[in-house]
Structure 1
Amino acid sequence: MLPFPPFPFLSQTDQENAVITGKLRQGLPALITALVASLPLSQVAHASYGIYVGSGLTEDGSVLLGGTGEEPSSHWLEIVPRANHPAGAMITVGATPEARLPARLSEVPQARETFRYITMNYSSYAGFPAPITNGGLNEHQVAIRDIWSPSRPELIEMTPADQTGPNYSDLARMALERASTAREAVEIIGALIDEYGYTTYGGNSHLIADPQEGWVVLQFAGGQGLWVAERLGPDDVRASYPGYIEEVPADYQSNPDFMGSDNLFSFARQQGWHDPASGSLNVDEVYGLGGIMRTPGTKYVSPAELEAELRDMVPVSVEDVMKMVRDPRIADDHAGYGQVAHLRQELANPSLALVWVAPTGSVTAPFVPWWVGVDSVPPEYGLHRYLTDNAAPTFINPDFQLQEATEFAGRLFKRLMYYTCAFPEEQLERVQSTLTAFEATMLEELPRIERIAALAYADSSELGSDVLTRFSHARAGDALELGRGLLAGIEAEVKTRHGIPQPPSDADINAGGKAVTCLVGADPDQPRD
């Protein structure tokens, strides 16, 4: 029996079954397929997803990277400045014994210089020190999405209880701080794992992109330092939920489209999981769960279906990816925020690197544009105590008094989600059409604002930054005003039409259960054919 839950979406009984079926998987693929396919959506948590569209398939020749973070904790926007660090500076990485797979914290060297980047931080994941990140966008237009990717049960079982090394968040943050290209970000992640190890919660991946290309990077449980990466080119699309890689050639270390740990093939052969005569290695079959997480998937729409839909949209626009990230088949109460990085070639100034961010699940929240050159975040979009780890048993730090006094964007749009998703057949189209109209206005304004900012940057960096900051802050304020208006109208209508029922007296408000979703005419907890 496993003493801890390796997969956040499996109960302990399911885990024991997964270990057994994992050992028998070569002869019983249908059994393990049925196990995972039968998992209800409400059991899937802390997962996150990502969408990549290559430059050959987009409307303007840019690369688009979208997605969300799925964590039940507070999320807040942060712009981290470029910094210089003293020689010998160290940073703490990893997790604690309280993690789902126990670990201990360790230290790795900090880079002498770290780049400016935008990120959505969050406050809680079992045993992982806050603040935690799924990635973001840096000043070199390197964008990163962190996405779950479960390792096969035997790897979970062999993970050391005192594992050390960077965790998924550490890897994303250090890559943002240090990488000038997507390829370099992969090399940084791989080198960190090779030298310091990897702290896992059960397997993970990163989807990384720049204006030229993308990369999928998988890190595996087991304490063996296993990792692998695959390049995504201009004509590729990828929907990661979870992250996956299929065939990897035997010459992967000299192939420009692949990277990986030295033991990627040899360890699989030692375990009897890979036949050397087969040549290439199917990563999903050998180290993952055998394709069953991609088709049929664990959300109401599978990654394979999303990829087909993206190809049907070609040429894909920023609005198209926003719509996909907002899709109620995916964006529900689990989604802590939505994000779309617009990675463009030949920017007039590096500070014009752009990412659109929705402050909570984008099914009912607007995307607002944030450039790397923006110098601050409005207090309403910064750290608040709503859903923040350790908020309930403590009083506030007076340093945050005035910021906490402001309205929290995440809470505002979460309330709008709860009202809208209670009666989506009545409210969803109204809310989403209003949000897309608001975003369309900003998309029309952007070229002019960026031309003005480029001229201002030619005079001074302060002037350029001021142009971008004023625009982002103004639109962020408009987004709050829009949310207040929608919320007030829908709240009044719901109370008048339906009332607010009293919850059962013996119910636990934190008991979870079904995810709040805006799906109409479909039950996300029922398996699909």
Structure 2
Amino acid sequence: MRYLPILAIAPLGIAGQLHAEDTPGRFGHPNEKSLGIYIGSDLTEDGATYLGGFGHEPSSHWLEIVPSQEHPEGATMTVGVTEDARIPGELTEIPQVEETFKYITSNYSEFAGFPPPLTNGGLNEHGVAARDIWSPSRPELVEMSEEAAEDEPQTGPQYSDLARIAMERATSAREAVEIIGSLIDEHGFSTYGGNSHLFADENEGWVFINYAGAKGLWAAERLEADEVRVSYPGYINEFPASPDDDDDYMASDNLIDFAREQAWWDGNGDSLDLQEVYGQPFPAEDPGDFYPSFYTEGRNPPEREEELRDMAPIKLKDMLAYVRDPRWSTDFSGYGQVAQIRPDTHPELQTLWVAVTSAITTPFVPIPIGTEEVPPEFKQHRYMTKDADSHFLDPDYGPLEATRYATRTFKRLLYHTCENPQDFLQPVTGDIEAFEQNLLDSRARIEREALALFESDEGDEARRYLTDMTQRSLLDSLALGEDLVRNVERQTRDRYGIRMPEGEASKGDTTPATSQHMAREGWGAMIHCYQQSMDEYPREHGRYEEDRALRP
């Protein structure tokens, strides 16, 4: 018996899929990307602040640990977008600071025509975490940006520039907001239609919205230790009409006056709802039929926040399971991250848990800030990397490219697992979460040994130790992925055979389906593992450990 692929199907085009030319937006898909989750420390079992989520980008992803660096006087950095961006712009130079901080991040190579490498944030050496999340501005603002770009290309930092700068320069979540807000005030903002950021430290979080419109509009709201915020998309509701009088809010100088000038707010009262004034409805409020219903319905921040509040006190492994949830962890989710920012912890033991690609079939591995390097298998390779097909490989990259590529391994596991999730999702998840539990069980010992070295003024030795342990864990996760994909592929062959594509050839075309364009539907089709009958979500981490793909 042959099984159909587990795809998100829209009701147009071949096999019910939506063709790129029928889809919204200049590049054939809506601006609906990424997930960010803030959990204040009062709501967590260990008293840590959690910041988790992922990015949605159709490209390669890899891990980087960027060291702290000193820069000479007069140094600059390149920011902005090119003429190939969704809303065209041009690159410019802005001043670089004298010292940039160390941080851990996931890099990728493609989104909206922006120049690579791109990042959505991570965790820096001062315990500041960042997530970048889509936040579509109201259509009139997007049109203003497009019209302005027709006269003069947009300039100023874009979302990735701001996320990277926050990691390089901020010592607190509040300072991250102050830094990127002042950069927008001074240099402008290059947009693809509206965006947001979540920042967190051990004490608090901040949500930051940068609106389209070519007017430098931005707003920020403080999140306290007893709050939950899900940016899916990023949003701010009630906002004071005089934000300068309240330390819990920040904004561009023109934010309030512009809303009144456009008659989007009547000026009555002491506050306005920024989501209503400057944003668009949440996808769940206006679902349409572009994405599958479960996926669109999940994009409802208030419902997700209520789910998470009901889970309090939240454990670290609850967050890992939540980011892995198949309602949103699909082929679209490029990686997974959970920053665990703990009070009274040595700065170099603050940790970012990272799944190098979609967490639905990828283990999270803890990377403490003291770690100095990840294995080459987790760095940039040519697979799905922008422009990788345009030239032969530079000899400088030969040894790196010769290594295995973790992202490719876990993508293979995703594609096999999601072809028949009723058979494989729960056993694969069982093995992955058993592996994560072993990492959780060993962390206290590893951190005690590292802390003893730090306290004995043997910082270099402590970093070597943390690097060694992190690299072992990452390579062990890759070995698990390879074992799982071999096993799932073997069982797939035995039970069903490997399904071949049907393709879509035009009349007179003799090109076999296996040689046709592999992404012909653009964002109109999605590989995912969700089946409503399989389980109730959210679910407990480790629930499937008795039903594992790899038997002991």
Per-residue CA distance 1:122-155 (angstroms, 9 max, x = gap): 1112331111100010001100000000000111
Name the counterpart of 1:4: none
Match of 1:331 in 2: 329
Q: How far 1:509 sits from its partner (Å)? A: 1.1
Separation of aligned partners in 1, 2:430 and 2:25? 42
Alignment match, 2:69: 83
Aligned partners of 1:10, 1:163: CA distance in 2, in Å?
Answer: 26
Q: Deviations over 1:36-81 (max 9, x none)?
A: xxxxxx9556611111110110001110010001100111100011
1:158 alignment counterpart: 144
Q: Provide the C-alpha distance between the structure 2 equivalents of 1:45 and 1:148, rounded to a whole number of angstroms.
A: 7
- Matches of 1:296 and 1:214, distance apart in 2: 28
Aligned to 1:395: 392
Q: Distance in 2 between matches of 1:46 and 1:389?
A: 21
- What is the SS of the residue equivalent to 2:37? strand
Aligned to 1:73, the other structure's residue is in SS state: coil
Q: Distance in 1 between matches of 2:193 and 2:437?
A: 40
Q: Is the 8 A contact 2:121 2:132 kept in 1?
A: yes
Aligned counterpart in structure 1 of residue 46 of structure 2, from 48, 60, 68:
60
Task: Tell whether the 8 Å contact from 2:335 to 2:354 is kept in structure 1 after alignment.
Answer: yes
SS in 1 for 2:212: coil
Q: 1:122 aligned to 108, 118, 133, which one?
A: 108
Report SS of the residue matched to 1:183: helix
CA contact (8 A) 2:63 2:378 kept: yes
2:217 to 226, 229, 247: 226
State the match for 1:322 in structure 2. 320
1:382 maps to amino acid: K
Deviates more, 1:274-283 or 1:183-192: 274-283
| Aligned-partner residue type, residue 391 of structure 1 | A
Question: Aligned AA for 2:319?
Answer: V
What are the residue-to-residue correspondences of 1:403-422 with 2, within 5 Å? 403-422=400-419
Q: What is the 5 A alignment of 1:274-285?
A: 274-285=265-276
From the superposition, tell whether residues 418 and 172 of structure 1 become closer, same or farther in structure 2 (CA, over 3 Å): same
Cα distance, 1:286–1:45 mapped onto 2, change above 3 Å: closer
Identify if the C-alpha distance between structure 1 residues 190 and 12 changes in structure 2 by more than 3 Å, giving closer, same or farther. Answer: farther
**Alignment partners' CA distance in 2, 1:135 and 1:181:** 14
**CA 434–343 in structure 1, closer or farther in 2 if over 3 Å, else same:** same
Distance in 2 separating the partners of 1:10 and 1:205:
26
Aligned to 1:340: 338
In structure 1, distance between residues paired with 2:492 and 2:350: 41
Find the aligned partners of 2:29 and 2:181 in 1 and give their Cα distance.
Answer: 31
CA RMSD of aligned residues (A): 1.9
Report the equivalent of 1:366.
363
1:146 aligns with 2:132: yes
Contact 1:295 1:304 in 2 (8 A): no
Residue 519 of structure 2, aligned match among 510, 518, 524: 510
Gaps of 5+ in 2: 1-18, 288-294, 506-512, 535-552
Contact 2:413 2:484 in 1 (8 A): yes
- Whichever residue aligns with residue 532 of structure 2, its letter is G
SS in 2 for 1:451: helix
Distance in 2 of aligned mates of 1:333 and 1:432: 16
Partner of 2:14: none
Which structure exhibits the higher relative contact order, with contacts defined as CA atoms closer than 8 Å and separated by 6 or more residues? 2
Q: Contact 1:294/1:304 (CA < 8 Å) preserved in 2? A: no
Whole-angstrom CA distance in 2 between matches of 1:405 and 1:232: 45
- In the alignment, the residues of structure 2 paired with residue 405 and residue 15 of structure 1 have an alpha-carbon distance, to the nearest angstrom, of 38
* Counterpart AA for 1:354: T
> 1:324: Cα distance to partner?
0.6
| 1:95 and 2:81 are equivalent in the alignment | yes
Task: Give me the whole-angstrom Cα distance separating, in 2, the residues matched to 1:358 and 1:296.
Answer: 31
Match of 1:247 in 2: 238
Question: 1:503, 1:359 → 2: CA distance?
Answer: 27
The answer to whether the 8 A contact 1:46-1:71 is kept is no
| Partner secondary structure for residue 276 of structure 1 | coil
Pairing of 1:202-221 with structure 2 (within 5 A): 202-221=193-212
Q: Does 1:485 align with 2:483?
A: yes
- Once the two structures are superposed, what CA deviation does each residue of 1:455-476 show, in whole Å capped at 9, x if it has no partner? 1122322111011111111111
Q: Is the 8 A contact 1:80 1:117 kept in 2?
A: yes
Q: 1 CA distance for matches of 2:186 and 2:301?
A: 33
Aligned length: 488
1:293 matched residue in structure 2:
283
- Provide structure 1 residue ranges, at least 5 long, that are not aligned to the other structure: 1-8, 17-41, 524-529
CA separation in 1, counterparts of 2:197 and 2:417? 32
Contact in 2 for aligned 1:359/1:410 (Cα 8 Å): yes
SS in 1 for 2:526: coil
Change (3 A) 1:12 1:91: farther
Tell me: CA distance 1:136–1:10, structure 2 relative to 1, closer, same or farther (3 Å): farther
Per the TM alignment, residue 353 of structure 1 is displaced from its structure 2 partner at its CA by 1.6
Residue 174 of structure 1 aligns to which amino acid in structure 2? I
**TM-score (normalised: structure 2):** 0.86
Matched, 1:266 2:257: yes
| 1:234-283: CA deviation from partner (whole Å, max 9, x where unpaired) | 11111111100001011212211111001111001111111112331110
Q: In 2, distance between residues paired with 1:522 and 1:12?
A: 32
Q: Against the structure 1 CA distance between its residues 279 and 311, is the aligned structure 2 distance closer, same or farther, given a 3 Å change threshold?
A: same
CA contact under 8 A between 1:46 and 1:72: conserved in structure 2?
no
Contact 2:135 2:235 in 1 (8 A): yes
Q: What is the match of residue 27 of structure 1?
A: none
* CA distance, structure 1, for counterparts of residue 42 and residue 112 of structure 2: 40
Aligned to 2:228: 237
- Paired residue type of 2:245: S
Partner of 1:436: 433
> How far apart are 1:303 and its partner, in Å?
2.3
- The amino acid of 2:493's aligned partner reads K
2:123 is the counterpart of 1:137: yes
Task: Indicate whether 1:521 and 2:512 are aligned.
Answer: no
TM-score w.r.t. the length of structure 1 is 0.89
Is the 2:453–2:461 contact (alpha carbons within 8 Å) kept by the matching residues of 1?
yes
Task: Give the Å deviation of 1:480.
Answer: 0.9
Deviation of 1:220 after TM superposition, in Å, equals 0.6
Aligned partners of 1:294 and 1:120: how far apart in 2?
28
Partner letter of residue 514 of structure 1?
Answer: A
Identity within the alignment, %: 51
Which residue number in structure 1 is paired with residue 464 of structure 2?
A: 466
- 1:24 aligned partner: none
Following superposition, the deviation at residue 521 of structure 1 comes to 3.5
Q: Does structure 1 conserve the Cα–Cα contact (< 8 Å) formed by 2:112 and 2:192?
A: no
Residue aligned with 2:417, SS: helix
Letter in 1 for 2:301: P
* CA–CA separation in structure 1 for the residues paired with 2:528 and 2:302: 21
Displacement of 1:424 after TM fit? 0.6
